[in-house]
Structure 1
């Protein structure tokens, strides 16, 4: 490397520092200090380490980059702009403004080159585990001798805050256990958080902690030492058996004479006068803003062009692979486009009511195993609950450090990390991940559920033991408020099927869905398989709500239910008919799907003139007012449950045919 190149590289690093300070100052909002401190790490990654193509941000074999310290997003925006991604200097000038690509934290789908939405600390760290699992799995399935289609790595930059978060501990433990040697993470050890020096709340030996997790750990004493950073990356690449953590001592606000190493540089603009001092310090004109020297732009655009050539070479390999392994090529090419193979829906089982009651979790397990052969990209597992959630693919092995082709995942009792890892897998084209736990423990997964919904990616969350019907485990395990809580999340589709056959259709809808995560909510207890032949009705689960059983004359009341409670409504309808009361039974497995229907369909199911409505669900009654209207009523949970057999609990809390009939009659007569 000659002196001229060295000068340009240092100028490029300083350009990123000044751009970050300028953008935050203009927005009067943001985090200037961290991108100023870690700009050299960004340079080493984008100029000398990562394989990427700005002209095709979705190149399958690109290295993935995760800015887990999402508040430092001006670092990412700067290097994306410099290397030629579809983000302009004007976008950067519009940092944190309405409709800007340069949002306050990196957002997947908003700007090319952002592989995952980050910001809530620890999430990006854990997403990387999912990315790494996906790479290992794709490589095991498709790589052949001379055809390393998938050999990319996962790079991330993490902050002190990331390291403190509990989800990081879960994810780091899992990554070490699985020996994910394709992960290379930089730990920005700048000693500063919002409240001040990290010693206020944090003094552990992070290096020893990660060594205990089974990671390969290195330390770089000076974050401005490009040679040391480059050497550390080289060592990390050579370590293929363990994930790597490179602990780098940096200085927040580097280049700011009065705010370096101070908490005030973390989450606030430096101030106009201080920004001028920063520019002066780095040899820029203090009176000019958003300056990118031509030699810097040309240098990094050249690095971006190298990526174009890398993908061209990979595409040639991919075409040769097509000739040598046409079946595998066809399989992957179909999967990466998001298309589904012909005939997969024919594998969905049909459950016979004559065979007796079936827990919907059991039905779900049968569905999974029935469709697994047809959908090779369908992979998943549970948080140590596979026997209880029925999520094991019986014909397939487990994904382990020794078997990367396995399709069953064991996340351990790490619900939070499981959710975040599922997001990383879902962001990998060609894979359909699912993860399971009890509905009550969805609480441990809220951040990744929410981020999946923001990104509109499609992990499938399986939540079993969905109500007080789980019985003797008692109040700690009986969900009450979880259904309405999940339904309140935009872009999340919640499906609570009424029986085994609706469960099969729930899986059909979930597999076909493209626009966000899906939560399938299932019973522990066995419930009747509804005899659809009695009603001559097809299951219209994809519409969210449908008339399961109608009365011969105009209904006096509409009975609405989800999940296990629908069977109660059918029994209640028959009892009411004996008393010459006409009732319509609506199965409403998904509010979100119903809200997508047109006004005519909604009027068909819930005619405005039919105001007597009773909703029955073994969960919180919140939200049901929208469907029962002012003249309707609800039977639901307004307290926590108790520890007792399910039958006793349903009787205690009013989920019986007698109570439904009584409440319906009272409503009609009101």
Structure 2
């Protein structure tokens, strides 16, 4: 250190900034003048274009248009009215079609997978060099996309969202973590969320990704079961101003499992989807496995075993609810079985050591989705067997 000081001819004590250097780097006066000049230009702009100036200021404050809250109930009505099976990645695109006119600050994109992630929406404009747009093709650079979205959110004025396959979230992870750390409103659209994507095989089939994303503090992770829950997830992600969200969506079509009355419960992260008088156990599920839970409930009902099915599209949001609500949905003294096409360990916090988790603790395989679900035991009969096991009722349901 002494030799370095001598070579630089630096006689000053540690941590002392010489006055002439401080003065040379002091840009306060220049900055104040630049800010004042900008403010004069903006004041002139606001006088000439008051509506546009007000919209700019609203967007920079991070506030949404009142029209979103006003029209959201009607959008939920429309989503609940759907009767056709639809992949939640497609339900996400339908949600964007409905929400984009109400949220002009949306800025979307995808890491070279727009046609698969379905992140484009009706009327979106592809952005380019020196060309305005609200949808960007990021190329095959998941981390770059996630980092750019963080920068857009930090600047303000836009709400960025971007898509890729869920298994590629590993490439984005550090930027996702930084968005959570900085509490920035960034929305990640992760499609092809499980073995349900089929023949692409284990390189593309997420197993550990949803549970590991749930471990990132301040990241809201959503895994919706149908079109209504998907719209609820999008609305929650847009309305949340203090952190990022990840929407984990299916490639395969999923049946309708909800009704309009379930929207408020879905917005709380978890809710009783279907109950039975005298329920003896809870079947807890997310996303594509909610329909399996309902099938298992029907099997058990035929055998005289009443159960409750809980859909939990967002464990992170559910965990923020008060204890009374959580206990009303998941009674502490009621045995529980969870089912999710992902690594099972995460669900122990809900089912306890005596509960059961039907999940996947190994990598996937290349085969059609129905064959994979049967191969890995993600079936209604297997879930019903797990319920019988926690209840100690002995005989297993037929496969």
- Choose which of 52, 60, 85 in structure 2 pairs with 1:357: 85
Distance of 1:422 and 1:281 partners within structure 2 = 44
Please give the alpha-carbon distance, in whole angstroms, between the structure 1 residues aligned to 2:83 and 2:232: 19
The answer on 1:668 being equivalent to 2:396 is: no
Partner of 2:101: 373
Query: In the alignment, which residue of structure 1 is the partner of 2:318?
Result: 594
Alignment partner of 1:657 is 2:375: no
Q: Equivalents in 1 of 2:82, 2:224: separation in Å?
A: 19
Cα offset, 1:296, TM superposition: 3.4
CA RMSD of aligned residues (A): 1.8
Question: Is the 2:338–2:351 Cα contact (8 Å) retained in structure 1?
Answer: yes
Displacement after TM superposition at 1:379 (Å): 0.8
Contact 1:372 1:393 (8 Å CA) reproduced: yes
Match of 1:392 in 2: 120
Match of 1:401 among 129, 138, 141: 129
Q: In structure 2, list runs of 5 or more residues that go unmatched.
A: 394-399
Q: Could you tell me how far apart the structure 1 residues matched to 2:48 and 2:82 are?
A: 50
Residue of structure 2 aligned with 1:585, choices 294, 305, 309: 309
Give 1:320 deviation, angstroms.
Answer: 0.9
Deviation at 1:664, TM superposition (A): 1.1
The CA deviation at 1:511 is: 0.3
Corresponding residue for residue 273 of structure 2: 548
1:441 aligns with 2:168: yes
- Structure 2 Cα separation of the partners of residues 311 and 613 of structure 1: 59
Aligned partner of 2:287 in structure 1 is 563
* Cα distance in 2 for residues equivalent to 1:415 and 1:514: 23
Aligned pairs for 1:105-254 (under 5 A) are: none
User: Aligned partners of 2:82 and 2:327: how far apart in 1?
Assistant: 34
The 1-side partners of 2:106 and 2:84 are apart by 29
- List per-residue Cα deviations over 1:508-560 (Å, max 9, x = no partner): 00001122221100001111112426xx544422322111222222x210110
- Does 2:350 correspond to 1:627? yes
CA contact (8 A) 1:492 1:516 kept: yes
Q: Are the aligned partners of 1:389 and 1:436 in contact in 2 as well (CA < 8 Å)?
A: yes
Distance between the aligned counterparts of 1:543 and 1:354, measured in 2?
A: 22
Give yes or no for the alignment of 1:331 onto 2:73.
no
For residues 55 and 302 of structure 2, the distance between their equivalents in structure 1, rounded to whole angstroms, comes to: 56
Q: Pick from 464, 469, 481: which aligns with 2:208?
A: 481
Equivalent-residue separation in structure 1 for 2:118 and 2:262 (angstroms): 29
* C-alpha distance in 1 between matches for 2:229 and 2:283: 18
* Deviation by residue 1:380-408 (Cα, 9 ceiling, x = unmatched): 11111111111112212200125x22111
Match of 1:300 in 2: 25
1:309 aligned partner: 33
**Aligned-partner Cα distance in 2 for 1:300–1:618:** 57
TM-score between the two structures when normalised by the length of structure 2: 0.92
SS in 2 for 1:619: coil
Determine if contact 1:393/1:407 at 8 Å carries over to the other structure. no
1:429-486 CA distance string (max 9 Å, x none): 1110111011111122122112222222121100001111111111111111111111
Residue correspondence of structure 1 range 22-33 to structure 2 within 5 A: none
Give the Å deviation of 1:582.
Answer: 1.8
Larger Cα Rg: Structure 1 or Structure 2?
1
Deviation per CA, 1:280-314: give whole Å up to 9, x if none: 4445546x33222334334433x222101110111
- Please give the secondary structure, in 2, of the residue aligned with 1:655: coil
Question: How many Å apart are 1:600 and its aligned residue?
Answer: 1.7
Distance (Å, rounded) in 2 between the aligned partners of 1:509 and 1:653: 32
TM-superposed deviation, 1:626: 0.6
| Residues matched between the structures, number | 389
Residues 569/359 of structure 1: CA separation in 2 closer, same or farther (3 Å cut): same
1:460-499 equivalence runs, <5 A: 460-499=187-226
Contact 1:471 1:643 in 2 (8 A): yes
> Partner of 1:434: helix, strand, or coil?
strand
CA displacement at 1:623 relative to structure 2: 1.3
3-state SS of 2:321 partner:
coil
Q: Distance in 1 between matches of 2:92 and 2:82?
A: 19
Please report how far the alpha carbon of residue 589 of structure 1 lies from its aligned counterpart in structure 2 after TM superposition: 1.3
Please tell me whether residue 526 in structure 1 is matched to residue 247 in structure 2.
Answer: no
For each residue in 1:160-195, what CA deviation from the matched residue of structure 2 results, as whole angstroms up to 9, or x when unmatched?
xxxxxxxxxxxxxxxxxxxxxxxxxxxxxxxxxxxx
- 2:257–2:290 Cα contact (<8 Å) kept: no
**Structure 1: unaligned runs, 5 residues or longer:** 1-273
Q: Does the CA contact (< 8 Å) of 1:353 and 1:528 recur in 2?
A: no
Q: Which has the higher contact order (CA 8 A, sep 6+)?
A: 2
Counterpart for residue 615 of structure 1? 338
